[in-house]
Structure 1
Amino acid sequence: MKWFLTACCCLGWLAAMAQPGIAEMQQAKQDLTASFFSAFDCSLVIATLVGLNGALKIYHNAQMGKDRVDSDVAAWFFAAIFITLAGAFLRALFGI
């Protein structure tokens, strides 16, 4: 019984040493922060290009006298708000 208890304590100690420490957690957070901001910047550039394309489409439709331009404007406006709020939401979600 004495040997069994000693072996369990030694194995428990080895299992505790195998857990990641504070340094590893800080490194993982730093890696997430670096990749998140580059992806966030990329998404803002893509959103800008898509937004400009939508604005040109709406302008062209308005100049050509097409109907329902107001629904296109609303869709374009709310998509821009969604992109902006999605970035803030993801920052809050990941704690960055």
Structure 2
Amino acid sequence: MKYLLSVCCCLISAAAFAQPGITEMQQAKQDLSSTFFSAFDCCMVLACIFGLFGGLRVYHNWQMGKDRIDSAVAAWFFASFFMILSGPFLRALFGI
């Protein structure tokens, strides 16, 4: 019984040494923060494209005399609004 207890204690301490260190965690946070800013910029560019393309589509439908453009306005607006809010949400989620 004592032999089994000592083996279990050795295995638990060996598992504790297998955990990543502070430097690896700092490196992972630095890698995440360097790629996040390019993702944040990509979100803003996509929001701009959605807004411009949506505005052109709504204007075209309006000039063609389409009756129901309210749903198209809301769809394109909320698509760009979602992309604008996804950047700060991800920033808050990852703590960057």
Same fold (TM over 0.5): yes
**2:64 maps to which residue?**
64
Question: So what's the TM-score if we normalise by structure 2?
Answer: 0.77
Q: Which amino acid aligns with 2:92?
A: A
Percentage of matched positions with identical amino acids: 68
**1:32 maps to which residue?**
32
Q: Which moved more, 1:8-17 or 1:43-52?
A: 8-17
**2:91 maps to which residue?**
91
Question: So what's the TM-score if we normalise by structure 1?
Answer: 0.77
**1:55 maps to which residue?**
55
Q: Is the alpha carbon distance of 1:21 and 1:71 closer, same or farther for their aligned partners in structure 2, counting shifts above 3 Å? A: same
CA RMSD of aligned residues (A): 2.3
Q: Which amino acid aligns with 1:66?
A: K
The answer to whether residue 18 in structure 2 is matched with residue 18 in structure 1 is yes
Shift of 1:10: 6.2
Q: Which moved more, 1:3-12 or 1:81-90?
A: 3-12
CA offset digits 1:16-74 (Å, max 9, x no partner): 33321111101101101111111221222122122211110111111111111122111
Partner Cα separation in structure 2 for residue 33 and residue 13 of structure 1:
33
| 8 Å Cα contact 2:47/2:84 also seen in 1 | no
Shift of 1:4: 8.2
Partner Cα separation in structure 2 for residue 77 and residue 21 of structure 1:
45
* Alignment: residue pair count: 96
The answer to which structure, 1 or 2, has the higher relative contact order (CA under 8 A, 6+ apart) is 2
